[in-house]
Amino acid sequence: MRGPIWGAMASQEIETLTQALSRLPGLGPRSARRAVLWLIKRRETSLVGLLEALAAVRDGLVECTTCGNVDTSDPCGICADPRRDQRGLCVVEDVSDLWALDRARLFTGRYHVLGGRLSALEGVRPEDLAIGSLIDRVERGGIDEVVLAMNATLEGQTTAHYIAERLETYPVRITQLAHGLPVGGELDYLDEGTLAQALRARRPIG
């Protein structure tokens, strides 16, 4: 447990809020302090909007039981969209990757979110990821191509190869993103051009 961010000068309420904000990705104690001061000064205006947005996220969002996307409906907007190509399925590690790919607007099929990647170091095993439900989806048929869009990390690639093996016996084409992706690159951080190029140049996994 780390020490207080403010010291003795701030109330427990302010300290608790600052601690909570400092745990957000990209925010440390220093930026959390700045954010809290900013919010305190605007508690009649911006803070109200923020509270409403947080409540809407807490109360309104659900995980799609088909693909693992987070949306206001289950099935999610992508799964429920009849214009989407039923035959293409793109497998990603996290929801952030799904959103990054969908922002690039190149993949017309649907997605499957694994919820992480295999990691011996962190003890993440196949049964900890949504691999069983992926195989169920493929088994139900109607899918021609599975695109494995894992990050260009060792663990991402290990995960891709594991899934490719598990899908070997099914009549689907299995491809993966072309890795002109920077080594160690995470999809969410790539610009849309690079991402589009990687998706366009996807190739059979080998």
CB of 70 to Zn ion, least distance (A): 9
User: SS3 of 116, please?
Assistant: coil
Residue 90 makes contact with Zn ion by CB under 5 A: no
Question: Segment near Zn ion (CB under 5 A), from 77-85, 97-105, 141-149, 156-164?
Answer: 77-85
| Residue 179 CA from chain centroid, whole number | 19
Rounded distance, CA 186 to CA 13, Å? 36
Determine the size of the site formed for Zn ion (CB under 5 A).
6
Among 10, 76, 101, 149, binds Zn ion (CB under 5 A): 76
Residues 151-170 that bind Zn ion (CB under 5 A): none
Among 64, 89, 129, 146, binds Zn ion (CB under 5 A): 64
User: In 90-201, where does DSSP find H-type helix?
Assistant: 95-103, 131-139, 154-166, 192-200
Strand order across the 88-92 sheet: 110-113, 88-92, 145-148, 173-176, 203-204
CB of 30 to Zn ion, least distance (A): 38
Among 115, 100, 65, 114, smallest CA distance to 181 is for: 100
Q: Which residue, 17 or 92, is less far from Zn ion as judged by CB? A: 92
Among 79, 106, 172, 196, binds Zn ion (CB under 5 A): 79
Question: Segment near Zn ion (CB under 5 A), from 67-75, 159-167, 175-183, 194-202?
Answer: 67-75
DSSP 54-106: HHHHHHH-EE-TTT--EESSSS-HHHH-TTS-TTEEEEESSHHHHHHHHHTT-
Instruction: Judge contact between 161 and 131, C-beta under 8 A.
Output: no
Question: Segment near Zn ion (CB under 5 A), from 7-15, 60-68, 145-153, 175-183?
Answer: 60-68
Q: Which residue, 33 or 111, is less far from Zn ion as judged by CB? A: 111
CB of 91 to Zn ion, least distance (A): 13
